[in-house]
Structure 1
Amino acid sequence: MAVGTTYTLNLRMLFLPPLAMAAHDREVELLDGTDEADHAQVDTLALLESVRRYADRTTVYCHASGIGSPGTYPRLLTFAEDCVVQVFTPTPGHIFHPKVWALRFRRDAELVHRLVVCSRNLTDDSSWDTLLVLDEGERGTGIPGAPAADFVRALPGMAAGPIAENRPEQAHDLASSLSDVWFQLPKPFTSGELRPLGLRPAPPTWPMPARADRAVVISPFLDVPTSARIAARTTPVLVSREETYALVGARAVQHTSVKVLSPHAEGEIDGDLGSERVRPSEVRTGLHAKVLVWDEGHTGHVFTGSANATHAAFNGNVEFGVLLRGPRRTCGVEALLPDGEASRDRITFAHVLQDHEITDPDPGEDLALEAEREAELHHEALLQAGPRLLCEQEDEGRYAVSLRFTRPFPAGPGPTRVRLVSRPRTDAAPPDRARWEGVQLMQLTPYLEIVTHVPVPGQDDLEVASVLKAELVDAPEDRAAQVLRSYLGSEESIVRYLRFLLDEAEIGSVWDDLELEDPAGEGRRGPSGTFEDLAILEPLLRAAADGSETLDRVEALLRDLGAGPERPNVVPEEFLDLWQAVWRASQERRR
């Protein structure tokens, strides 16, 4: 089971967690999804199987307006729709900003937990980030997991839109087992604690003392009040971005040593963003890590996680961090930025830093960022208004989809248009009269792209896009089965997929010659063959004899495909007869 949180979400990266959880079974590569038919089919089926196998155990909670606008629409989202839950914070006007994963695995008869605390959102950015992995250890020693349990337990209560019935139950179940867990301390730290922030209104929780011995603050975003409270007996070091320094001004940080990443440390975004929309506030490259390091006496402290060095982060935002303590020399400022000149013999963080001079003493303003936030608040208001997508069948395989709201919503800061993310951008319409006709079944989706054009004084209008998850009403019950059949396409491909499930020892040879029928009808088909050619009997009987959970996966596939006597053309009749006999026998054996 996996529960993850993120501020921003790339819908394509939603496939990454189930794929990672399937990695112990086989080694695969993640598709970029631009056109599934053009990729090696081994990757397509690996991704399809991992999403089908683990999506029902994976939930991602993200900020209400934090889903980024995709380029092309991947049909695989049909199987992962219940994974996404958009949320609001308990403190109005603040953001849901944690980046943490709580994971539970089953090892034989015992449950094992892992906590991943990071500064990276579930996106494909190539920025500098941090990641801390905490594994379950001996009870009573290390870092108590109860705060993580409280955090996970609180998540369903923040849901802003539709949430699948089983997801709150899963969160509470995971929280129950987390409550008694202790996590191993990473060496050389000697103590630590988990610190979720913003779960309920509370006094500010800035972790650093009023005056440390030494201090380093790494944060891509700053504000003037927080910059002023960074203090130490020796000059504290502040690492941020040039754009951020321009906003706070030189006067606010004049008591610090101001640093930025060196140009050679800045990477380009891997891959082509294509038609993906990018927001002004997004940090796609460069510094995105958030780390506070300070020394008090002989003890070094490291606070790492999602929180920027801003007032909002520690006073209302929902965040998650970890505070670690240990010997000053190995766990404090000296370990991060050693005294003396950097050398080739010892690579340190100092190698990628350089001094920065701020030219303006006073705080600047970024009107585009202010306009972006106005648009985001409007998109959040649209989500609070309860969007519903009503499906009406027009003819076989085509539908009319109308957008309705259960509550009124305010006017936006500029013109706003919406579209199904599966439809061309030319199909966008005003939210109060949005209707799409001739929508194919494969295009039915609860995801709406909301685009608002906000006027910015002295600049061109700013275009801000978010994706909201609406309630999909009256969609065909077998929609997922039809999408699944579109991926497999032919009887031969379905049988080969069954063989893939049954005989993992020979997966490579099965995948090497596997091709799928093109769902668009371009005539691409799998290799010809018969049921007997595939020698499926032996692995099926072996799985039955071993009591393997593989049989459950085959049963789930056939159920999702809608295979049965009433649909004789979905899978070969010979296999269906054999399967029913084996399945009945395996169920009797289990009883």
Structure 2
Amino acid sequence: MLRSSNITTYTDILTPPEGYETEQALGLTFSMDLTMVLACAVSLFLSKEILEDIKGERYDVITALSEAKEKLRIYGHYGRIKVPETFSPVFTLLEPCIKSVRNKKGSFHPKVWLIKFNCKNSNEKIYRLIVMSKNITDTNNWDVTYHADGKIKTGNYNESLITFLNSFTHDSKDKKFISNIVKELEQVQFKNPDDISKVLFHGFPNDNFSFPNKMQNTVIISPFLSEEKLTEIKNCSDGVIYLLSKDDALNKINTNTLDKFKCYTLKDEIIDGLSLLDEITNNDINNLIKMDLHAKCYLWEKGSHTHIILGSNNCTNSAFSQNQEAAIEMVAHRDKIKIENILETLIDNTVYKINDYKDKEEEIKLFSPYIRSDEIIKDDSENIKQADQIRRLLEVSPLSGIITKDKESDSYTIEFTSNLSIPDKYSNWCVEVALVTNKSVKKILDKQVLFDNLELDSLTSFIIISIKNKDYNKYRYLVKVEYKNYSDYFSKMENRIVSEIFNSTNKLINYITWLLQCDPESSNDLPIFVETSEGFGSKNGVEFNIPLYESLILVAAKEPKKLQKIDHVISILESNNNIPEDELKIIEQFWKPFKKYIKGIK
């Protein structure tokens, strides 16, 4: 049930079924990092995983993002994008895919994917619904995931899911994208997991969900807790309640509140990474990846049924009444799924030493009894709390911007405006802004901030916000600014990035060869760019040979959409001057019959 997942295991569930391709994908998350979003795009549109660093020039990333621009949208809470350690130009190509949501009452906190797949050889469609506790971030925390595929049937389904997906944006372009992916959803019947008789989707805060009275064998799994929510669940439960959480969360709860709970926390050994035992040697134990609890799950038995809710809701009041959250409730007969059996796989009262775990990976259980600690740990919590308050003020008064071009110098200026007013009680704090394309140039946020004399490749809608005082300077995040005239410049930036990657005819031939050989359903890893040897046997060392031409003809018959990907790159090269004119003429002559054919592809 609980699983520690990283970038590979996360993107695996986004991969299209065999024989299908992604038509449209909608992702909802609280936070994200850009590398993970790139990995999602590659998985969705090429059925591959990013197993290497994205540095360098990647055919897979460029190809996937050319489709993602129109087919992928990811909505996240405003300002919850991780600042990348190093900036890659391909991050710019993600900008149309990422959208921000501001929730004045709480947080935009769901973790949901809805994906529509088309069959390559027929009109059949498969929809995939994924509800989880994991954000679109490359962490190794313990999370829970539900996913199910569905097909169009006769009936009326998914009313609460459709209502939720239509609720969080008012932008007309966003509504059109969402409308296209949900328009058939009321006819889609998702397949229930084994032993599950009923599945219900809950979208908060508008869902009328409440915990029923007289719950038995109640289990709460949550990394964050509040007194009020625990008391509510306690009052609805008969008998012992199992509470699986984190030490720091339990230490904040009054002992009187916990008197009816049996409390457990992740073992220190588990947090320190002992689930990776197959990769561990004695010398590696001090270098394990931290894996904390991030799952949100509620289980109980009532009558003859077992209920399991999993999703994004922490065990707090705000998670059920203020935040925008999403969860799946699964119902099974108690004979099929027993909570005592689930607990048996999770809870362990035995204390192991590290060496005892060798060759016993199947026996490892995650949780051990909670031991309260009254030790006061000095940390940055007060600074973080104050910085969070300033962040919320920025959400209410977000940055707006406009880009202008200086016709004489051919340079650009970005002008930001802000209505932020920091209260006197936070007068020791300041807010700095910087472009993610040039982190070294930082400016204090004021009513007006200018970044001038910029090159085209410095333009970006990803802006670094740093909230700091003299004692604390670690609070940084990205916001995505929606410029009034950004579409005019994005196409120029996209053309610049692609033309710089394909800056020689040999690289273009390499790309065409790779794309023709790329089989989404093979197990081969995607290559990064490889320079070809000079000389193809014609003038200037450029020749599109006969086997390549024949391969393109075969692709035109079997997978014509691949030709559109190639045409997209060639069209960009035609509008730039990176390739010598005589070589470009050879390319255009070679591509001419395929270009005519592409016009008839839908």
Tell me the TM-score range normalised by the shorter chain. Answer: 0.7 to 0.9
Question: Is the CA contact 2:348–2:367 (under 8 Å) kept in the aligned structure 1?
Answer: no
Aligned partners of 1:139 and 1:62: how far apart in 2? 31
Residue matched to 1:258: 263
Correspondence list, 1:145-544, <5 A: 145-157=158-170, 166-198=173-205, 200=206, 205-206=209-210, 208-231=211-234, 232-267=237-272, 285-338=291-344, 351-360=365-374, 366-383=381-398, 386-393=399-406, 399-405=411-417, 408-411=419-422, 413=426, 414-453=429-468, 460-461=471-472, 463-472=474-483, 473=485, 475=489, 477-504=491-518, 514-515=529-530, 527=534, 529=536, 530-532=541-543, 534-535=545-546, 536-544=548-556
Aligned letter for 1:215?
A: T
The SS at the match of 2:83 is: coil
Report the residue type matching 1:229 in the other structure.
Answer: E
Q: Provide the C-alpha distance between the structure 1 equivalents of 2:150 and 2:578, rounded to a whole number of angstroms.
A: 49
CA apart distance, 1:441 = 2.1
SS of 2:69 mapped into structure 1? helix
Residues 531-561 of structure 1: CA deviation (Å, up to 9, x unaligned) = 3265432122223344722222222222344
Counterparts of 1:60-209 in structure 2, within 5 Å, are 60-89=74-103, 92-107=104-119, 108-137=122-151, 139=153, 144-157=157-170, 166-198=173-205, 200=206, 205-206=209-210, 208-209=211-212
Structure 1 residue matching 2:419: 3-state secondary structure = coil
Q: Is this contact kept in 1: 2:433–2:465, CA < 8 A?
A: yes
SS at the partner of 2:567? helix
Residue identity in the other structure for 2:73: T
Q: How many Å separate the matches in 2 of 1:359 and 1:342? A: 18
Equivalent residue letter for 2:223: P
Deviation per residue, 1:433-485 (Å, 9 max, x gap)? 43334433222111111111258xxxx43642221111344637522111111
Tell me, what secondary structure is at the counterpart of 1:182? strand
Is the contact made by 2:348 and 2:365 (CA closer than 8 Å) also made in structure 1?
Answer: no
Deviations 1:373-401 (A, max 9, x none): 20320231342xx51042434777x7343
When residues 341 and 57 of structure 1 are mapped into structure 2, their CA distance, relative to the original with a 3 A threshold, is closer
1:351 Cα deviation from its structure 2 partner? 1.6
Report the residue type matching 1:29 in the other structure. Answer: I
Task: Quote how far apart the aligned CAs of 1:342 are.
Answer: 8.3
**Structure 2 residue matching 1:572: 3-state secondary structure:** helix
Compare 470-479 and 490-499 and name the one that shifted more: 470-479
Match of 1:20 among 23, 26, 43: 43
Q: Compared with structure 1, are the counterparts of its residues 570 and 491 closer, same or farther at alpha carbon in structure 2 (3 Å cutoff)?
A: farther
Does structure 1 retain, via aligned residues, the 8 Å contact 2:301–2:339? yes
C-alpha separation in 2, matches of 1:372 and 1:565: 47
Query: What secondary structure does 1:314 align onto?
Result: helix
Alpha-carbon offset, residue 85 of structure 1: 0.7
Partner amino acid for 2:169?
Answer: P
Mark the runs of 5 or more structure 2 residues left unpaired by the alignment: 1-23, 276-288, 351-356
CA distance in 2, matches of 1:501, 1:563: 22
Q: Which amino acid aligns with 2:227?
A: V
Quote how far apart the aligned CAs of 1:265 are: 1.2
User: CA 1:374 to 1:241, structure 2 compared with 1: closer, same or farther past 3 Å?
Assistant: same
Q: What amino acid maps onto 1:111 in structure 2?
A: K
Distance 2:303 2:364 in 1: 23
What is residue 521 of structure 1 aligned with on the other side? none
Residue 252 of structure 1: how far off its partner (Å): 2.2
Equivalences, count: 539
Q: Secondary structure at the match of 2:230?
A: helix
Give the % identical residues.
Answer: 18
Deviation at 1:230, TM superposition (A): 2.6
The alignment partner of 1:351 has SS state of coil
TM-score normalised according to structure 2 size: 0.80
Q: Is the contact between residue 223 and residue 246 of structure 2 (CA under 8 Å) also seen in structure 1? A: yes
The CA distance in 2 between the partners of 1:381 and 1:526, in whole Å, is: 56
Change in 2 beyond 3 A, CA 1:137/1:97? same
**What code does the residue aligned with 1:338 have?**
E
Deviation at 1:424, TM superposition (A): 2.4
Give the letter for the 2:554 counterpart.
R
Relative to structure 1, is the Cα distance of residues 434 and 124 closer, same or farther in structure 2, using a 3 angstrom cutoff? same
Q: Give, as a single letter, the amino acid of the residue that structure 1 aligns with 2:584.
A: P
Tell me which amino acid in the other structure corresponds to 1:497.
Answer: Y
1:82-109 superposed Cα distances (whole Å, 9 cap, x missing partner):
11110123xx330000000000001120
Following the alignment from structure 1 to structure 2, what is the Cα–Cα distance between the partners of residues 23 and 355?
45
CA distance in structure 2 between the aligned counterparts of 1:57 and 1:567, rounded to whole angstroms: 30
Partners of 1:514 and 1:67 in 2: CA distance: 28
CA-CA distance at 1:322 after TM superposition: 0.6
Mapped partners of 1:565, 1:486: distance in 2: 10
Distance 1:550 1:252 in 2: 61
Report the counterpart of residue 278 of structure 1 in structure 2.
none
Q: Residues of 2 paired with 1:510 and 1:8: CA distance?
A: 28
Q: What's the counterpart of residue 11 of structure 1?
A: 34
Deviation at 1:22, TM superposition (A): 3.0
In structure 1, how many angstroms separate the alpha carbons of the residues matched to 2:349 and 2:257? 29
Residues 454 and 348 (structure 1), Cα distance of their counterparts in 2 relative to 1, 3 Å cut: farther
Deviates further, 93-102 or 8-17: 8-17
What letter matches 1:119 in structure 2? S
In structure 2, the partner of 1:275 is none
CA distance in 2, matches of 1:348, 1:311: 36
Pair 1:335–1:3, CA change in 2 (3 A):
same
SS in 1 for 2:225: coil
Question: Could you give the per-residue CA deviations for residues 549-580 of structure 1, whole angstroms, max 9, x where no partner exists?
Answer: 22222222223444599986496322211212
* Aligned-partner SS, 2:239: coil
Over residues 86-136 of structure 1, what are the superposed CA-to-partner deviations in whole Å (9 max), with x where a residue is unaligned? 0123xx330000000000001120221000110000001111001111110
SS in 2 for 1:317: coil
- Confirm or deny: 8 A CA contact 1:156 1:171 kept in the other structure: no
Q: After superposition, what is the alpha-carbon deviation per residue over 1:133-159, rounded to whole angstroms, capped at 9, x for unaligned? A: 111057479x942322222222332x6
> In terms of mean alpha carbon deviation, does 124-133 or 501-510 score higher?
501-510
Cα deviations by residue, 1:279-299 (Å, 9 ceiling, x for unpaired): xxxx97300000000011221
Q: Which deviates more from structure 2 when the two are superposed, residues 374-383 or residues 103-112?
A: 374-383
CA distance in 2 between partners of 1:46 and 1:54 (Å): 12
